[in-house]
Amino acid sequence: MKKRFSLLLVILLAASMILAACGDGKDNGDEGSGDSGKTEQYLRVNIKTEPFSLHPGLANDSTSGSVLRNTFEGLTRIGLNGEPENAMAEDIQVSEDGTVYTFTLRDAKWSNGDPVIAQDFEYAWKWALDPANESQYAYQLYYLKNGAAANEGKVSLDEVGVKAIDEKTLEVTLEQPTPYFLELTAFYTYLPVNSKIAEANPDWYKNAGEDYVSNGPFKMASWEHRTKIELVKNDQYWDKDNVKLEKIDMHMIDDENTELSMFQKGELDWAGAPFSALPTDAIPQLKKDGDLNIKPIAGVYWYKFNTEVEPFNNVKIRKAFSYAINRQAITDNILQAGQIPAMAAVPPSMFQENEDGYYKDNNLEEAKKLLQEGLEELGYKDVSELPTITISYNTSEAHQKIAQAIQDMWRKNLGVETELENEEWAVYIEKLHNGDFMIGRMGWLGDFNDPINFLELFREKDGGNNDTRWENAEFKQLLLDSQEERDPDVRMQMLKQAEEIFIDEMPVAPIYFYTNAWLQPDNLKDVAISGLGDVQLKWAYFE
């Protein structure tokens, strides 16, 4: 018996030694490459999680976007100044009515040396629209003529408005004029795919390797799922002279505190947005130390009112509740990362004047007055007769703190008692989408740099992301008309007008506009973060 037991111990010991030996071998190798590997133009970032998919047509998340934007290149690319620039397209012609775009491609190559041809774009866009391929972001291509119809299987893919006239010319026909179409062509769903490879190997995008080819500033050298992606400079890239980074490591570490520690120890060159996020608790201290970089992005955090249930079917009540929120106190004391109090729907990165918004923050006098009028209109004597009001949010510390603060403000300023209700994410979303809520927190991050992206959510009562059940004929018409308007200034005016109506009706109470907060070494330059908060490393370098 004793022998058996000591045998067990011996096995355990042996196992641990084998493990130790394996590890050691790896370790030595690692250190060997570590010394020479950390060259000057070598960037290490953390993208937090495994990307959903690195197929441009399948990607539907910011993590995939952070990788694809650096490995692929669309017809246009958002430049350092935030405006779309010609990228794969050398020349772009737009028809008089704004519905037909003719792109002439430049001489560019895939990372394996194949030329990038117009057919690659046609193939990629039709692939994403093909219902058989289950692209969740296929709707980003619904601007193309028959895009939606083809995706729903109503018409054949041949009828989609994208056509390669020859290898160098791509003709794109749109469903209706889309003034921001050249913003969209920089978006990842519009990236090309090497059609020759994709047709031969339908699984090309699942792993790094010979078949994973891209046409952007960097190419993928390795992809250890849920661990790390390594990018290296793409020597075939047409603009490679402007690409200075030689190598990029993208780690996938979920924990924000760990990421921060690694940055502070020098194991990462970036901590925080837009690749990941900084731990909320650490932000005040980092800000005090003066290391924090803050940049506003196109995103808004708001409280949606269910405009079909009492008392929020009354516009005065909605306004009273919104005016009685002290947004400045929330951004200063709870969020603390330079967020901008929101008294408008469209972020200031699109409408500069929205930094001040349409109404006064924390306007208690007006709020009390409106509350009284609203109560009378609804036939209540005073606030005690209001039905129980519930604030819903998905479980998260930040949402909870904000909800508690707002609950307190409403109690003090309006004398209204509210209940808080938090739920797990998927449960919460489902309830919100089904209209099973009174006040619910939500956020919206822009997909493309145009105000319509924030306004059209509320165009239709049953629109997938409206949730408030609010609809307004005038608002709707302005949005539809703006689509046809060819003069950009007039169009912006129309959108502005629509926003005014929206704020006057207040189906949502905007709380704050998002910012990106991050840490980076001082000698890292020209990491391009767009107004949407997207990151591009094409021009980045260490000084």
> Which of 10, 12, 165, 490: binder of another protein (CB under 8 A)?
12
253 binds another protein (CB under 8 A): yes
Q: How many CB atoms lie within 10 A of CB 164?
A: 19
Q: Which of residues 441-460 bind another protein (CB under 8 A)?
A: 442-444, 447
Nearest to another protein of 139, 542 (CB atom): 139
159 binds another protein (CB under 8 A): no
Nearest to another protein of 353, 460 (CB atom): 460
Closest separation in Å from C-beta 254 to another protein: 5
24 binds another protein (CB under 8 A): yes
Q: Which of residues 58-87 bind another protein (CB under 8 A)?
A: 58, 60
| Cβ pair 40, 247 in contact under 8 A | no
Output the CA torsion sign for 23, 24, 25, 29.
positive
Closest separation in Å from C-beta 261 to another protein: 5
**Site track 120-149 with another protein (rule: CB under 8 A), x = hit:** -----------x--xxx-xx--x-----x-
3 binds another protein (CB under 8 A): no
Nearest to another protein of 440, 451 (CB atom): 440
The residue range among 173-181, 330-338, 426-434, 505-513 that interacts with another protein, by the rule CB under 8 A, is 426-434
> Which of 376, 382, 430, 460: binder of another protein (CB under 8 A)?
430
Interface size with another protein, residues (CB under 8 A): 68
> Which of 156, 264, 333, 396: binder of another protein (CB under 8 A)?
264
The token pair at 179 is 């003034």
Nearest to another protein of 8, 490 (CB atom): 8
Q: How far is CA 324 from CA 32, 329, 334, 355, 357, in A?
A: 61, 12, 17, 19, 15
Nearest to another protein of 48, 319 (CB atom): 48
425 binds another protein (CB under 8 A): yes
Exposure b/e, 291-309, CB count within 10 A at least 16 = b: ebbebbbbbbbbbbbbbeb
Nearest to another protein of 242, 396 (CB atom): 396
Exposure b/e, 431-458, CB count within 10 A at least 16 = b: bbeebebbbbbbebbbbbbbbbbbbbbb
Output the CA torsion sign for 58, 61, 64, 66.
positive
| Cβ pair 271, 519 in contact under 8 A | yes
Single-letter amino acid code for the residue at 10: V
Q: How many helices (H) and strands (E) does the chain have?
A: 16, 21
Q: Which of residues 336-355 bind another protein (CB under 8 A)?
A: none
Residue 347 backbone phi and psi in degrees, to 5: -60, 150
* Half-sphere exposure (Cβ direction) of 432: Cα atoms closer than 13 Å: 27
Closest separation in Å from C-beta 89 to another protein: 27
Sequence-separated contacts (24+) of 200-209 with Cβ below 8 Å:
205/53, 205/54, 205/55, 205/58
Q: Can the peptide bond before residue 115 be classed as cis, meaning omega within 30 degrees of 0?
A: no
> Which of 400, 465, 493, 497: binder of another protein (CB under 8 A)?
465
In a 10 Å sphere around its CB, with 0-12 CB exposed, 13-18 middle and 19+ buried, how is residue 140 labelled? buried
Q: Which of residues 187-216 bind another protein (CB under 8 A)?
A: 203, 205-206
Note the residues at the interface with another protein (CB under 8 A).
Answer: 1-2, 4-5, 8, 12-13, 15-16, 19-20, 22-24, 26-27, 30-31, 50, 52-53, 55, 58, 60, 131, 134-136, 138-139, 142, 148, 151-152, 203, 205-206, 224-228, 251-255, 257-258, 261-262, 264-265, 267, 424-427, 429-431, 433, 442-444, 447, 464-465
